[in-house]
Chain A
Amino acid sequence: MIGSAAALASRGALAQEPPKPASIVVNHSGGAMGSAMRKAFFNGFEKKYGIRVVETSPADFGKLRAMVESGNVEWDVTEIGGQDAIRATEMKLVEKIDDKIVDRSKYPEKARSPYVFASSVYTTIIGYRTDVFKGGTHPKSWADWWDVKKFPGARSMRDHPTDNLEFALLADGVTPDKIYPIDFDRAFKKLDQIKPHVNVWWATGQQPAQLLLDKEVVLATGWNGRFYDLIKKGGPVEIEWNQGALKQGSFVIPRGAKNAYWGQKMLAEMSVPQQQAIYATELGYPGLNLEALNYVDAKVKPYLPTQYIDKQFWIDDSWYAANGTKALELWNAWKLKKA
């Protein structure tokens, strides 16, 4: 892997590009995200290099592993979950990012991992029905979320330990800097209290917005972009940003990708601030090039999580890379426990 990266670097230095393929394959989550990526990045890439961008979905860590291990790598670039990116790096499933091609000089220090391209920031926050909670009467913290007397109504939370363990600890009075390492006992004990009030444990990102729209629940945790989309369309929903769980979207180049060089070029395209601004305006997920905000419309800015970073906390991907399996097992057991 190091050899091929070095080879790429030297080729870059000589400004001798490998021959252009007819197309490259970018794998991502699909849906609205796919169309935003097409608009912000893929169209420009196709025009610039004359290489067609073939899109596949969804992001799938299992498939990535199978591809690399079998030596039949179909993707040139793929999206990957935050903690999966760390594990993929450890398992040597990904190529190094070539900083000569991908300019990340305007990125925050912590978003310049050698193997993982940080594409955007998203956050899990509270979405609420504005017709039920009028004039700022909605829950504004996780302690509020747990307070079912003051804020009655069916809730929906993600069917996953990530986010919920953190929210439980915050609700129980833990300060954001003391969340990790997570105290499982304390978190699950707190979760016991909210369990009867959770009508739906959501599994896919689109569910929370839909559940709020159908008034199946009046409060839902969810990814900011999904609520942003509903708000853009005039849905009776608003976002509370306080104590949201920040994460970064990640992209990697699978080891042995057929067009790794052009994969790097694709990541370069995805790091351009003007293009990131288009993407953020479409989805509400801002990129990590700090200059991108200069190109975003003032009306959109209030819906970008980067505006509220001080009120939120970062999910610790490396903690999950080490403890994720254990957390999921405990989560399953907790879910099956008769209340």
Chain B
Amino acid sequence: MSSRTAGGLPPPLPSPVRRGRAGWGRAALPALPALVLLFAFFLFPVVRMLGFSIEDGSLDWYAKALGEELYLRVFWNTFEIALLVTVICLLVGYPLGFLIATTTPGWATLGFIFVLLPLWTSVLVRTYAWMVLLGRNGVFNRWLIEAGVIADPIPMLNNFTGVLIGMVHVLLPYMVLPVYGAVRRLDPALVAAAEGLGASSWSIFWRIYLPLTLPGIFAGATIVFVLSLGFFITPALLGGGKVMMLAVLIEQQIHQTLNWPFAAALSAVLLALTLGVYSLAQAFTRQEARP
């Protein structure tokens, strides 16, 4: 079940824990303060905010958000970046999570430190660190030029590449941890049995590890994708103003043009998109988790 795939990390999104009705009631009681808090400080403001978008009794703001080419393009940009970030996180995060889960405890601890330490550092600080590393005269370019690998600096900052690097770095832990959890929960006897029966390591991976860690992959990919959709600081600072994502547009509408109804409509569409992706992933996970 996907509720456990996040390993030691509390799942950032509610997971579908299947229980009987009585179980729900008992589970909800201790959660009551949290629910009240969520309602007062999260749900209510969100609903109030979304209310702005239909304040004038029409859906005009939604027509604008979904009808004009400019905004559709921003939606598409956002979607494209989120997808790319998710794929890269998967390609990097799966082997890493796998390695940490299967190596010796000493190495695993070290791996965890490398994965978790950035998670505890402010996104802003990390983003500025990337600016120092990736710039035209940044650390990487200077190394590469001194080593004679390149003659002119590679543009890695203030463009699409910079945004991708920065976002993958920030979001990688959310991929590694669910994968780690999924690998750890796998019954080692299965692998031992396969080895005993002479399976190659490739087929062990392909026929045991991969199918059984799929829920972890889906959980990680969902979290990364959903968080990517709302990203703000990293694209603003590493994109050189050339990469426009939805959150940047919403911020503009709130602070600069003071068009709150339109900002609310954009937010509503983003929220719907996010929930859509989330429920889609949930459907897949449930299907894949079935024995």
Binding site for B on A (CB under 8 A): 60-62, 65, 87, 154, 159, 199-203, 214-216, 324-325, 328-329, 332-333, 335-336
Binding site for A on B (CB under 8 A): 69-70, 73-74, 77, 135-138, 157-158, 236-237, 240-242, 244, 249, 252, 254-260
A216 in contact with B70 given A203-B241, A325-B257, A328-B252 (CB within 8 Å): no
Q: How far is the CA of A203 from the CA of B137 in the complex (A)?
A: 21
Q: How far is the CA of A60 from the CA of B251 in the complex (A)?
A: 12
Please tell me which one of the listed residues A202, A215, A333 contacts residue B137 in the complex, with CB atoms under 8 A apart. A215
B137 adjacent to A201 (CB under 8 Å): no
Q: How far is the CA of A199 from the CA of B153 in the complex (A)?
A: 14
B70 adjacent to A333 (CB under 8 Å): yes
A329 in contact with B158 given A159-B241, A199-B240, A200-B240 (CB within 8 Å): no
B258 adjacent to A336 (CB under 8 Å): no
Which of chain A's residues has its CB closest to B252's CB?
A328
Q: Separation in Å of the B231 CB from the closest CB of chain A?
A: 15
Q: How far is the CA of A201 from the CA of B159 in the complex (A)?
A: 11
A336 in contact with B74 given A61-B255, A202-B241, A215-B137 (CB within 8 Å): yes
Could you say which residues of chain B place their CB within 8 Å of the CB of A333?
69-70
Please tell me which one of the listed residues A60, A216, A324 contacts residue B158 in the complex, with CB atoms under 8 A apart. A216
Which of chain B's residues has its CB closest to A201's CB?
B241
Please tell me which one of the listed residues B157, B237, B249 contacts residue A332 in the complex, with CB atoms under 8 A apart. B249
Please tell me which one of the listed residues B137, B157, B252, B258 contacts residue A65 in the complex, with CB atoms under 8 A apart. B258
A325 in contact with B255 given A159-B241, A215-B137, A336-B244 (CB within 8 Å): no
* Most chain B CB inside 10 Å of its own CB: which residue of A87, A154, A199: A199
Q: Separation in Å of the B45 CB from the closest CB of chain A?
A: 12
Could you say which residues of chain A place their CB within 8 Å of the CB of B252?
328, 332
Q: Separation in Å of the B68 CB from the closest CB of chain A?
A: 9
A200-B158, A215-B136, A216-B157 known; 4 new pairs, CB 8 Å cut-off, are A216-B136, A216-B137, A324-B257, A336-B70
Q: Separation in Å of the A94 CB from the closest CB of chain B?
A: 15
Please list the 10 inter-chain residue pairs (A to B) with the smallest Cβ-Cβ separation, ordered nearest first: A201-B241, A159-B241, A200-B240, A333-B70, A325-B257, A200-B158, A62-B255, A215-B137, A62-B254, A336-B73
* Most chain B CB inside 10 Å of its own CB: which residue of A62, A154, A329, A335: A62
Which of chain A's residues has its CB closest to B254's CB?
A62
Which of chain A's residues has its CB closest to B155's CB?
A199
A62 in contact with B70 given A201-B241, A203-B236, A214-B135 (CB within 8 Å): no
Q: How far is the CA of A136 from the CA of B236 in the complex (A)?
A: 34
8 CB contacts below 8 A, A to B, read: A62-B258, A87-B258, A202-B241, A216-B157, A328-B252, A329-B70, A336-B73, A336-B74
Q: How far is the CA of A215 from the CA of B136 in the complex (A)?
A: 8
Q: How far is the CA of A202 from the CA of B260 in the complex (A)?
A: 24
Q: How far is the CA of A324 from the CA of B236 in the complex (A)?
A: 21
Q: How far is the CA of A165 from the CA of B80 in the complex (A)?
A: 30
Q: How far is the CA of A325 from the CA of B74 in the complex (A)?
A: 18
Could you say which residues of chain B place their CB within 8 Å of the CB of A203?
236-237, 241
Q: How far is the CA of A325 from the CA of B236 in the complex (A)?
A: 20
Could you say which residues of chain A place their CB within 8 Å of the CB of B73?
336
Q: Separation in Å of the B130 CB from the closest CB of chain A?
A: 13
Q: Separation in Å of the B13 CB from the closest CB of chain A?
A: 29
A328 in contact with B241 given A216-B137, A336-B74 (CB within 8 Å): no
A200 adjacent to B241 (CB under 8 Å): yes
Q: Separation in Å of the B214 CB from the closest CB of chain A?
A: 37
Q: How far is the CA of A215 from the CA of B137 in the complex (A)?
A: 7
Which of chain B's residues has its CB closest to A65's CB?
B258
A332 in contact with B70 given A60-B255, A214-B135 (CB within 8 Å): yes
Q: Separation in Å of the B281 CB from the closest CB of chain A?
A: 29
Which of chain A's residues has its CB closest to B241's CB?
A201
Q: How far is the CA of A216 from the CA of B244 in the complex (A)?
A: 21
Could you say which residues of chain A place their CB within 8 Å of the CB of B249?
332
Which of chain A's residues has its CB closest to B256's CB?
A328
Q: Separation in Å of the A145 CB from the closest CB of chain B?
A: 17
Q: Separation in Å of the B91 CB from the closest CB of chain A?
A: 28
Q: How far is the CA of A203 from the CA of B233 in the complex (A)?
A: 11
Q: How far is the CA of A230 from the CA of B258 in the complex (A)?
A: 33
* Most chain A CB inside 10 Å of its own CB: which residue of B135, B240, B259: B240
Could you say which residues of chain A place their CB within 8 Å of the CB of B136?
154, 214-216
Q: Separation in Å of the B139 CB from the closest CB of chain A?
A: 11
A328 adjacent to B70 (CB under 8 Å): no
